[in-house]
Structure 1
Amino acid sequence: MKGHLSHDYLIEVPAAVVWDVYCGIELPKLAAQLLRDVLGSVEVVHGDGGVGTIVKLTHPPGNVYKNRHRLKEAEIIEGGFKDKDARSSIIRSSVDYEIDDKLQELASQATMKPFEVLNEGIGKYLKQKWDSSNT
């Protein structure tokens, strides 16, 4: 059984500012700093944030996330960022999963909640930083 989940998060910051965080090593560092209670600790094991980067997440007690393998991809549409306008953009997170048909009841446990929390936390941080640097 295969499935796909997606979540769009509108952020009132230009896409180039968002991209600077999401494309590199700053994302796991910010996630660890801003969302420690939700994500636990985040350690970059290898890489610079690009393809092939390995990040170790140690979830806090009581967290039920079991999947150990995740891949971060970036997508540029029509030669540009996913800009909504010059002052805002959209962060689209998605999860593609494949589950053995014998275990298809596990599909109901697939969730976008970790990405929603991450995008909201990073979004608030970037908006605050953007507003203070442009006033």
Structure 2
Amino acid sequence: MHGYLSEDTLVEVPVAVIWEVYRGLQLGKLVNELLRDVIGEVEFVQGDGSVGTIVKLTFPPGTPGPSYMKEMFTKIDDEIRLKEAETIEGGFKDVGFDLYRVRLQILEKDTESSIIRSSVEYEIDDKLEEIASQVTTKPLEIMAEVIGKYLKERSSTN
């Protein structure tokens, strides 16, 4: 079974500003600062934020399922402002997914606002359809909203 979910989140931040955060390690640092209790703790295992970088996300206590996942950045395209990461260990891999890929794309709405398109693509055995129904973009949407708001507030104080 192959699945795909996508959600757009409008943020009142210029595209260059939000892409600068999303493209590298700053996204994980802001998750640690702003969303540790909601999304978890990001640890940089190897790499400098470019393709091949591996990050470990330890979920907050009480989160059902595996306690962590490791992701590898598999694509970063500055031209179309697209970043992809695949789960390589833990998380959805541990419950039977063959592929679990997160795709984050930053689209320009106008000079002062952007759309963060958060997508999840997955492959799983048809027999595990019930597990596939648990896939959601909600954590990515929350991350987009909180980081967008944080960057907007920070730019208005400068």
Q: TM-score per shorter chain, which class? A: 0.7 to 0.9
Query: Hey, what does 1:4 align to over in structure 2?
Result: 4
2:135 is aligned with 1:110: yes
Stretches of structure 1 lacking an aligned partner (at least 5 in a row)? none
Query: Hey, what does 2:145 align to over in structure 1?
Result: 120
Q: What TM-score do the two structures reach when normalised by structure 2?
A: 0.75
Q: What TM-score do the two structures reach when normalised by structure 1?
A: 0.87
Take 2:76 and 2:141, find their aligned partners in 1: how far apart are those partners? 17
Structure (1 or 2) with the greater strand fraction: 2
Deviation at 1:74, TM superposition (A): 4.6
2:102 is aligned with 1:101: no
Deviation at 1:40, TM superposition (A): 2.3
Take 1:83 and 1:95, find their aligned partners in 2: how far apart are those partners? 21
2:32 is aligned with 1:32: yes
Take 1:116 and 1:82, find their aligned partners in 2: how far apart are those partners? 15
The amino acid of 1:16's aligned partner reads: A
> Which structure 2 residues correspond to residues 47-66 of structure 1 after superposition, within 5 A?
47-64=47-64, 66=66
Identity among equivalent pairs (%): 57
Stretches of structure 2 lacking an aligned partner (at least 5 in a row)? 82-105
Take 1:11 and 1:26, find their aligned partners in 2: how far apart are those partners? 17
Query: Hey, what does 2:103 align to over in structure 1?
Result: none
Deviations 1:114-133 (A, max 9, x none): 10111111111111112112
Take 1:35 and 1:53, find their aligned partners in 2: how far apart are those partners? 21
Paired residue total: 130
Residues 1:71 and 1:9: Cα distance change in structure 2 (over 3 Å): farther
Deviations 1:29-65 (A, max 9, x none): 1111100111222111111222111111111111125
Residues 1:96 and 1:106: Cα distance change in structure 2 (over 3 Å): same
Bigger relative contact order, structure 1 or 2 (CA pairs below 8 A, ≥6 apart): 1
Deviation at 1:68, TM superposition (A): 3.3
| Alpha-carbon RMSD | 1.9
The amino acid of 2:6's aligned partner reads: S
Structure (1 or 2) with the greater helix fraction: 1
